[in-house]
Structure 1
Amino acid sequence: MRLTHIKLSGFKSFVDPTTIAVPGRLVAVIGPNGCGKSNVIDAVRWVLGEASARQLRGESMQDVIFNGANTRRPAPRASVELVFDNSDGQLQGAWGQYAEVAIKRQLTRQGDSTYFINNQVVRRRDITDLFLGTGVGARGYAVIEQGMISRIIEARPEELRAHIEEAAGVSKYKERRRETENRLADTREHLQRLADLQSELDRQVEKLRRQANTAQRYQELKAQIADKQNLFDYSQWQQALHQADSATTLYQQHGNAQESLKQQLEILEQQLQQLREQEQEQQQRVREAEMQRAGLREQWARLEEQIRHRRDWQQRIAREQTQAQTELQRLHNENIQQQQQLESASSELEEQQLQREEWALQAAEHEARMPELEELAHQGERTRQNQQNELARLERELAIKQQQHQHATAAIAQLQQRRQRLEEELTQLALPQNGELETARETAAELEQIVTTLEENLLQYEQQRESAREALLLAQQQYRQLDKQQLTLSAQVEALTAMLPQAERSSTEKETDSNIPLLWQHLQVAKKWQHATTVVLGHRLQALYTEQLQPGDTLPEHTTVWVNQAAETNRQKWATNALLQHIEVQAPFSEAIQYWLGQVFCAETLEEALLGQTDLQAQQLIITPEGHCIDAISVTLYAEDNGTGLLQQQQQLREQQQALLALEQPLQQAAETMQLAQRNLENTEERLNQCQQQLKQQQQRWQTASAQATELLARTSQGQLRQEHIQQESAQIISELAQQQHVQQQTQADTENLTLSVEQLRPQLQNHTASQQNQQQTLKQSQLALLEARRQQGLVEMAIVRLQQRIQTATQEQQRIARETERWQERQSELALGIAEQEMEDEQTLQTEELNTQIDAATEQCTTAQQVLEQLQQQLQHIQQQQHNLNSQLPQLQADTQTALLQQQEALLNARRFHETLQQNQADLEALAELFNHSQQAVPELNQEIAALAQKINALGAVNLAALQELEEAHERAEYYQTQTADVQAAIALLEEAISTIDEETKTRFKTTFDAVNEKVQSYFPTLFGGGEARLDMVGDDLLSAGVSIMARPPGKKNSTIHLLSGGEKALTAMSLVFALFSLNPAPFCLLDEVDAPLDDANTSRFCNLVQQMSAQTQFVYISHNRLTMEMAEQLVGVTMQEKGVSRIVEVNIRQALDMAEA
């Protein structure tokens, strides 16, 4: 098989459809730098399945599509196709029957990548499988790009092993082993899942047995606790009704006491106001007296401070004079010391300068002699080294030839024995029938897909069931919250209804006429002015209406005031700020309200009301929102509203009733939602059970089919592996026999010639070695003398520098001492002038005594004013204490009132809750009443009995009433899991046996190929280098994972690692390895991208000779700029870029051109 055409379109710089014909065995691709030659190599790697953009010199896979040029638009897609001539049938598999095979890859800008074989869409894996074991692939050794030579030679051991495996044809075995391992891992995972399920099922069975035993006991205890709970709820209901009546009475008592306490607080507030005004006047007198005394004390303090400041100043001048004298003496001593150091350093500097000149003369003499001695020594060393290298090269070549001769003799005998054994084994192989394995695989794959789909459906149903459960739980929770809100609002409505005046309750509960209206029921007052209206109307809010009143009529007991219909009177027009503007009144009370409130006006604040007090007439009032009343001669202040007025209660009752009505529809909707969620949960559980049954059936079928396919795969793999191995090894043995016989003859002749050359060269080397050692000794002595002179000269230079620094430092210190001496002398003169000043303290002393007398008089005046102020404060404190005592009682009364109201509401709520609980439980109230009256059992005793029963239920734990049915289903699942486990274990054993067979075959092939490649490397390396040695070493003991390293030593070198070689040497070493791989497992073609770039002409010539020899079995397509390599080609393919950014092809067939020239 060989490559015939490369077709490109839209790939990198090849924007136009381009076909490169490669009919010959040696095809050279040439052209200037940057014209797109390497894009041909990238195209071949890309179509073979390369998935890394970095390997194609790009950042993303979209970079392989032509991106446009100055006059070109970007291409929409990239396409590369390779056409192979398979007339020799080298390709295996389904495509091996075709005489011509074309593989193609297309990539669009949308990221769609498509592979084709003979215009049929295939997978990337199909392309890879087509060339397994041939060395051709995206990362195979058949495509050598720029830089790949150095990467091969510097590759890690595991990377180098991959190339050996490709040459051995192990890659397809590894692929089959990987598939078998994946299937084995899936099977083991399935077995683990079965074990987990079986373990979990065992725990569930044991748990279900315990649950079935406790279910009956649970039902008995549940019935007993229900009876006790009904009796307890009935007793709590009666107790709550009693508590509600008691709380109502207590609430009325606390309200009356609160009103009396507020009146006493108003009287005390007036007395406090008068005393506070007197206290402020007296405080002003005290402040004036204290300000006068403070001014006098400030004058006295200033005089004292002046006297103390003068005394401190005189003492400081004396101390500074003493310090100046001391500093002047110290500076004089330092000046003498620095002068001595300066004279000593100058003397030492002159001596060191003389020594520096002497050592400089000695160093110059030795330097003049050095060039002559060095030249003689180097010339002798070069001569000796050349002879030694030549001798070493000859000895290495001799050893290699002798070793090659021995290897060739032993290899011929081994190959003949191996060939005979393989022929015998080939006749005994038997393979399963064709198509049987594919049928089993397809059946298992179809069943696996069905099982996967059912498992996904089962997971979805389980998620739907959990969602349905959560929805049901949420609906139940929402229903309970709304029901609780309804109970709370109902209790509040009942509590507010119970707090309404007795007149209204009588009109509805007793036998009074329900048509008689109350005044407050016909009023609609703005919320802000409700309390103010209550203050003005007072008890009249509970008035009843009648059209006439006869003297003999009897008033009902609950009636407070009867209101007669008011007659028309002449009144002034209502003011714009009248209270009536905030009230809506219904007939028949409109006339009465106009009469009572016609002279009542509104003010936003108390200050505004007080300003309008002087304009009021008799019977006129000004009211504030807080309830403060102002008439023409008085002001009545009320405490803050506690929210319990009649109008406020009416407003609260209306709001609670509206909220209660608004809850009815949401409560009904919540109940419907809860029922719908319950039905949805039941439907989901039914679908889940059906899916579980289907999954159980399909899993059984899938396990059976998988076990059959695994068994057939193991048998087929073992037979095919062994058959292919025998055929390949037989062909390899025939080729190796011919090569080893040729090597045996050639190495015998080379060994004799090399032995003669070594014996002639050894005496010459000994003479040159003795002469060179004498020259080296003379040179070494001269070098040591020169180094000593230079060292002494350096020491003297350092000493001179240190002395110069000492002289400079001493001079600077003398200058600093002179400056400081001058500064201290000036300071001493200044201090002498300050001593002459004298203070006069007698006059200031007299002023101080006079100020003390004035301060005493002002202090006495302050004491008298302070005593008067303290008397006023005591009176004020006494009244404040009384006010505090009353105020401390008021919060307690208010808290008691509010507590009583809350207790009443709580009792009514509890009564409603217990009564509804009894109704929900469908309890017989008459029977419970009779039982409660006769049993005389206290509530704590009932609680203890209920708690004891509940404790017994809790002791039972979780109770599952459907335990028996679930236990039966668990037994069925356990039997199914046991059957599946046995099938899976049998399949695992079969797969492990297949993997063991593949491993043994892989070890044999790898070891055989490694030895053969190692032998070829040892042969090709001296051919390319003209000598030297190289070998392959195995890194590790395990043949399945051991890495491979290469050791190379060119002629004349003893390097310890291959990384010490030059670029050209690394390239030749890598080529010897690549050619060794090709000689064992020749690839259909080989692409080389400038691998000869680091080689000189001599190495290039040897490289070309080897490529020409190997071209008999492998087609070479290479890129080169080397003239010698171009001359070797049978066909030249020129790549040009006349249009910027666009590559074009120019082809020249060298053989046809030569034939035309000769003709």
Structure 2
Amino acid sequence: MRFTRLRLTGFKSFVEPTELLIERGLTGIVGPNGCGKSNLVEALRWVMGESSAKQMRGGEMDDVIFGGTRDRPARNMAEVILGMDNADRSAPAVFNHMDDLDVSRRIERGSGSTYRVNGKEVRARDVQLLFADAATGPRSNALVSQGRIGNIIAAKPTARRVLLEEAAGITGLHSRRHEAELRLRAAETNLVRLEDVLGAMEVQHKTLKKQARQASRYSNLSGHIRRAEATLFHMRWAAAQETQERSGEHRKEAEAAVVRLTAASAEASRLQAEFAAALPSLRQTEAEAAAELQRVTIAREGLDAEEKRVAEAQAECRARLAQIATDIEREGSLAADAVAAIGALEAEAQEIEKARADEETAEKDAEANLQAIRQVVVELETRHAELTDRIAADEARKNALVRRADEQNQRRQMLAQQREENASQRSAIEAGAVDPGQMEATERTLADAREAAEKGREAAEAAGNHRAEADAHVREIVASLHETQSAFARLEAEAKALADVLEAGQSDSWPPLIDSVSVEHGFEVALGAALGEDLSAPADEPAPVHWHTLDALNDPQPLPGKCEPLSGFVKGPAALTRRLSQIGVVVDESAGSALRVSLKPGQRLVSRDGALWRWDGFTVSAGAPTAAAARLEQRNRLAEVRAQMSDAEAAVSVAATRVEEAETRAAAAAEGEAVARRDALAADAANTQAGDALSQLREKASQIDSRLAGLTEAAERIAADLAEAETHAKEAADALASLPDPTQARDDISALRAELAERRAEQVERQSAHDSLARLARDRRNRQEAISRELTSWRDRGEGATRRLEQLAERKQAIESETGKLAVRPAEIDEKRQALLSLIEGAETNRNSAADHLAKAELRLTEADQVLRQAENSLAAAREDRVRAEGAVEQAQQATQSLRERVMERLDCRPENLAAVAELKEEVELPDLEAIEKRVERLQRERDTMGPVNLRAEHEATELYEQIEGLETEKGDLTRAIEKLRRGISELNREGRQRLVASFEEVDGHFRALFVRLFGGGRAHLALTESDDPLEAGLEIMASPPGKRLQILSLLSGGEQALTALALMFAVFLTNPAPICVLDEVDAPLDDANVDRFCTLVEEMARAGKTNFLVITHHRMTMARMDRLFGVTMSERGISQLVSVDLQRAVELRESA
């Protein structure tokens, strides 16, 4: 299967449809950073089933859809299509009939992804398995990036095992094994749950059988309760009807009283209305007089308030005049202070100006002295630094030589120790080598274990079949038991019902004679027709109606036609002897009709079907029902049922015994199956253990060979390093002897340091004098500026004081004018007060007269109100009596309706039909209400003591048994499925180990060769660590670049790590080639020489296999080695475009030109 093209639409920055052709050889993708090159690789991973948005550099999967730019709107859809050539028919079976495959993945914003293969929608799982079987996928090792290389370098050995799994082609195998393990765990969980459910259902089935028997008794009790409740409700209904009639009569009397008192109340209301109509005019007159009095009173109070306000205004004017005098005095003082301050500041400014005349000359002299000493100090410091550097360089060189000599000596000691350790390790490893005899013995053990495991599986399967047959036999016998139990339950329920019916009409004091009679089967109807209701009479003498025992007739009259007397078929008390001896039994109705004319007085003829002929001509046709006949049939049927119950009970006991025996055999079969399966599991475990032991021995032998080779190479390297260390130590000793003596240089620098200290002290003194002059000049300038500001401030203060004095004079004059006006107001107010006093006196007289007239009218109205209230109270009492009467009527109606509803609810019939439901006869006197209530309570209590009753128990038991049978079938299917899954997982593990071990050897061989090619020498190998099981072991990388010792990957330099990881990636790729290999800037950490080796290796791999290489690079040498180049540009911000150049075609055109 070969990849041919990649088409993108709306994916990240590729908003327009873009197609990347993936042809044979090397295809390069170039472009500046950020232009979208990596988006092409991510599109390839996305279409192959990548499900993590984080791996796509996004927060959610919708982020792969073009998000829009300033000039382009966002898209709602993205689609990537990967074209593949399936000419070699290497695709999975479901797709293998197609020559070309187009795998597409389409995502719509907010709706998720859809996968299609050649237009047909498929699952994401199908697409992932399609690529996993082709040794590629979204996280395949064939998609190599700088981050991928870094992950391999930093990964733990167990994490690197994924490379071997992909090389072995068991990535899909792992996925299938994981899926099978999940299904196995789910099936085992379901089996446990199923067994729990079956146990619970068995318990429930036994409970339902008990409930079915209880439901039959419950139904009989309910019938008795229904009849008793019907009698009780019938009596309550009659009482409610009587109460309702009495309430209606009382309501009529209350209505008449309300009409009479309503007329009296109307007359009193008329008188009250006349008196009330006269009040408004009197109240108006009184209100007007009171308003006039209020008006003049308020006017007087207004004059008092105005007088008070005048006094307050005069006091306020006096206070304001005093405040103004104080303000004038203060502002005059401020003006004088301003004049004095301005004079003092002008004098100080003149003195400062005189002092500044000589400061410029002094500052120039101090600056010149300071610069001169600074120049001297700089020259001395330069000489001191040069001498110090020369001494430090000599000391550093000496220390470096000493340190180098020490390091080389230590290195020689360390290398000597390593040489001894190497020899010791070689001896220990050679002593622990794997014995070939042990290897052969382990292989034989494995073969025996496999044979035992196969026999164990066959035995377990045979035991499972035996257990299934035993379970089927148990189900058959249990079904027979259930049928027998159901028949017994039906007989028991029928016997209980017949017994209840026979006991229902009995009297505890006088048992009827019929209960003492036994009749042959088939003659019940004849006896009932012959004696009828006479059989219900007792044989007790104290009873008001009873049978009296008489002696047999001395000379009985013979029956006509030699009929047999009925006494020959009936056994009963002696009281019936005379009656039965004179009743003949005929064969059929025609015989009876022929013989009836020959009957003597007192004689009768009956047939077995109930026809009756009496001596006086009374005739009853066959089939006429009688209670006695029915009761006799019921008694005979009860006896038959009880006899059948004994047989059924014995059959149930036998069936139960058979069920126990079958269950015992089934349990033994199940135990045998469990033992067989445990033996099979133990055999499988022994097989696995033997396989693991053989794998461990092989791995141990491989590791020993690898370690011996490594130790041999290490010994050679140690010898070379030891010679090199001795040479370097001699060179360091010679260089140390040739160094000059540093004593004279130290004396010179001490003298120079003392002179420099003296000059620096002189510099500090001159700097201090210069700074002092500058500070005095700065202070004088600052004071001059402050004096200028203060002069301006004091002049402003003086002018402000003058303006405020003028304003205060104006305010004083205005206040004195207002004081003169207020002085004449008290006299005016006193004149107005005297005039208002005379008006107040007249208004009070008018108001008192109007109030007296109003009080008299209100007294008359009060008396009329009392009369009206008395009449209304009487009327209200009558109305309340009427309301009570109506309430009683309504209550009686509600009680009647409530009783009707309760009857409908409890008995589902109308109250008028209660007598029929209770089976009451008109001529029979109703029992006492309290007695019938007690009977209902007793029956209900008896029913309640039964507790909850499941009336559908028998039906539910049948349904539950059918469910149990279905679950038993499911249990067998589930057990077989679990065994099949276990065998599948074991086979997957075995195949995975074999393929992983074979893959490891092949990958290790490729890695050794590729390492030498990429590094131009050296050696390297792979090792399995951390576990003896290849499926759980880690992958460690041991490498020795040219000139270095053998060590693990993490101890190499950065470039060596990258090149070693690349060698491993290519080794995996060569073991299990993928249709495509993507190299995303993997040449970035390599120098030019290594890039050249890398490109040569990739070219050879492309020519040797069928893999298409896609290389993303910034390196010019890599670009030059490509067969074709695609450039990714971003001419429009945020929009990627793809352009192509076929370099091989371009070279051909150039050569032809």
- CA shift for structure 1 position 1024: 8.2
Counterpart position of 2:1061: 1073
CA distance in structure 1 between the partners assigned to 2:328 and 2:736 by the alignment: 86
1:257 aligns to 2:247 (yes or no): no
Separation in structure 2 between the aligned mates of residue 1158 and residue 746 of structure 1, nearest angstrom: 55
Match of 1:844 in 2: 829
Deviation at 1:143?
0.3
SS at match of 2:910: helix
Confirm whether residue 950 of structure 1 aligns to residue 949 of structure 2: no
**Pair 955,856 (structure 1): closer, same or farther in 2 beyond 3 Å:** farther
State the secondary structure of the residue aligned to 1:958.
Answer: coil
Give the Cα separation in 2 of the matches to 1:851 and 1:1025: 135
- CA distance in 2 between counterparts of 1:383 and 1:1143 reads 62
Q: Distance in 2 between matches of 1:1091 and 1:220?
A: 92
Deviation at 1:864, TM superposition (A): 2.7
The residue that corresponds to 1:289 in the other structure is 289
State the match for 1:267 in structure 2: 267
- Cα distance in structure 2, aligned partners of 1:1025 and 1:876: 136
In structure 2, distance between residues paired with 1:308 and 1:1077:
112
Q: Quote the residue 1:572 is aligned against.
A: none
Structure 1 residue aligned with 2:1082:
1091
Equivalent positions of 1:462-501 (< 5 A) are none
Aligned equivalents of 1:990, 1:212: Cα separation in 2? 43
- Tell me, in whole angstroms, the C-alpha distance in 2 between the residues paired with 1:83 and 1:716: 46
Corresponding residue for 2:82?
80
Distance 1:250 1:824, change over 3 A: farther
Partner of 2:571: none
Shift of 1:259: 2.7
CA distance in 2, matches of 1:203, 1:126: 46
**Is the Cα contact below 8 Å between 1:115 and 1:123 reproduced in 2?**
no
- Once residues 266 and 921 of structure 1 are traced to their aligned partners in structure 2, the CA distance between those partners, rounded to angstroms, is 52
Q: Partner residue of 1:855?
A: 840
- 1:765-784 paired onto structure 2 within 5 Å: none
CA distance in 1, matches of 2:831, 2:189: 113
CA contact 2:692–2:1029 (8 Å) conserved in 1:
no
Q: Which residue of 1 aligns with 2:929?
A: 937
Distance change >3 Å, CA 178–CA 819, structure 1 → 2 = farther
Q: Distance in 2 between matches of 1:423 and 1:101?
A: 49
Tell me, what secondary structure is at the counterpart of 1:935?
coil
d(CA) in 2 for partners of 1:313, 1:154: 99
Name which of structure 1's ranges 720-729 and 36-45 shifts more when overlaid on structure 2: 720-729
Which residue of structure 2 aligns with residue 114 of structure 1? 116
Q: 1:1118 to 1:84 in 2, by over 3 A?
A: farther
Counterpart residue number, 1:686: none
The alignment of Structure 1 onto Structure 2 pairs a total of residues equal to 842
Change (3 A) 1:423 1:861: farther
Q: Could you say which residue in structure 2 is the equivalent of 1:22?
A: 24
Change (3 A) 1:209 1:30: closer
Alignment of 1:178 with 2:187, yes or no, is: no
Q: 1:925 to 1:244 in 2, by over 3 A?
A: farther
AA partner of residue 1122 (structure 1): H
Q: Which residue of 1 aligns with 2:225?
A: 225
Aligned to 1:870, which of 841, 846, 855? Answer: 855
What CA deviation, in whole Å up to 9, does each residue of 1:938-970 have, x standing for no partner?
Answer: 5xx655653454344334321124546656776
Pick aligned residue for 1:895 from 855, 876, 883: 883
Q: Cα distance 1:186–1:872, how it changes in 2: closer, same or farther (>3 A)?
A: same
Partners of 1:752 and 1:1073 in 2: CA distance: 30
| SS of 2:28 mapped into structure 1 | strand
Q: Between 815-824 and 1082-1091, report the one with greater CA deviation.
A: 815-824
Match of 1:187 in 2: 187
Check whether the contact 1:36–1:1143 (CA below 8 A) recurs between aligned residues.
no
SS of the aligned residue for 2:225 comes to helix
Report if aligned partners of 1:1035, 1:1045 keep a CA contact under 8 Å in 2.
Answer: no
Q: Per the alignment, in what secondary structure is the counterpart of residue 80 of structure 1?
A: strand
Q: Does the CA-based 8 Å contact 1:83-1:102 persist in structure 2?
A: yes
TM-score of the superposed pair, with normalisation by structure 2: 0.53
Which residue of structure 1 lines up, in the alignment, with residue 139 of structure 2? Answer: 139
TM-fit CA distance, 1:79 = 4.1
- How far 1:222 sits from its partner (Å)? 2.7
SS of 2:929's partner is coil
Segment drifting more, 916-925 vs 378-387: 378-387
The aligned residue for residue 1113 of structure 2 is 1120
- Shift in alpha-carbon separation, 1:1083–1:824, aligned structure 2, 3 A: farther
1:305 and 1:134 map into 2 onto residues whose CA distance is 113
Q: How far apart are 1:857 and its partner, in Å?
A: 3.4
Q: Is the 8 A contact 2:1124 2:1143 kept in 1?
A: yes
Distance 1:904 1:839, change over 3 A: same
Identity, in percent, stands at 21
1:300 matches 2:300: yes
Deviation at 1:180, TM superposition (A): 3.4
The aligned counterpart of 1:500 is none
**Secondary structure, in 3 states, of the residue corresponding to 2:1114?**
coil
Partners of 1:157 and 1:808 lie apart in 2 by: 86
SS in 2 for 1:1087: strand
CA distance in 2, matches of 1:126, 1:723: 37
Task: Give 1:755's match in structure 2, choosing from 725, 745, 749.
Answer: 725
CA distance in 2, matches of 1:106, 1:268: 103
1:719 Cα shift? Answer: 11
- Distance in 2, Cα, partners of 1:776 & 1:132: 77
- For residue 262 of structure 2, give the secondary structure of its aligned residue in structure 1: helix
Could you say which residue in structure 2 is the equivalent of 1:309? 309
Which amino acid in 1 is paired with 2:883? A
- Give the one of 103, 106, 120 matched to 1:105: 103
Aligned 8 A contact 1:10 1:75 in 2: no
Equivalent in the alignment of 1:540: none
**1:1124 Cα deviation after fit:** 1.9
Work out the CA distance in 2 between the residues paired with 1:1110 and 1:735. 30
| Contact preservation (8 Å) 2:230, 2:917 | no
Deviation at 1:1088, TM superposition (A): 0.4
C-alpha deviation, 1:281, in angstroms: 0.5
Q: Which runs of 5+ in 2 are unaligned?
A: 356-361, 466-668, 1043-1048
CA distance in 1, matches of 2:801, 2:79: 94
Shift of 1:1145: 5.4
Unaligned ranges ≥5, structure 1? 445-699, 1052-1057
Say if 1:981 and 1:307 are closer, same or farther in 2 by CA, change over 3 A. Answer: same
How far off is 1:280 after superposition? 0.9
- In the TM superposition, residue 274 of structure 1 has moved relative to its aligned partner by 2.5
Contact 1:1134–1:1146, Cα closer than 8 Å, also in 2: yes
1:633-686, Cα deviation, whole Å (9 max, x unpaired):
xxxxxxxxxxxxxxxxxxxxxxxxxxxxxxxxxxxxxxxxxxxxxxxxxxxxxx
Structure 1 residues 219 and 270 mapped into 2: Cα distance closer, same or farther (>3 Å)?
same
- Cα 1:217–1:858 change in 2 (3 A) is farther
How far 1:227 sits from its partner (Å)? 3.2
Tell me how far apart the structure 2 counterparts of residues 849 and 1030 of structure 1 sit (CA, whole Å): 135
TM-score under structure 1 length normalisation: 0.52
State whether residues 158 and 1035 of structure 2, in contact with CA within 8 Å, keep that contact through their aligned partners in structure 1.
yes
My pick for the range that moved more, 833-842 or 364-373, is 364-373
1:989 & 1:908 partners in 2: Cα distance? 73
Deviations 1:195-221 (A, max 9, x none): 552464366357547645754653454
1:114 offset after TM fit, Å? 3.3
Query: Judging changes above 3 Å, is the alpha-carbon distance between structure 1 residues 1000 and 30 closer, same or farther for their aligned structure 2 residues?
Result: closer
Deviations 1:431-463 (A, max 9, x none): 999xx99xx9xxx9xxxxxxxxxxxxxxxxxxx
User: How far apart are 1:190 and its partner, in Å?
Assistant: 0.7
Q: Which residue of 1 aligns with 2:949?
A: 959
Q: Confirm or deny: 8 A CA contact 1:1032 1:1044 kept in the other structure.
A: yes
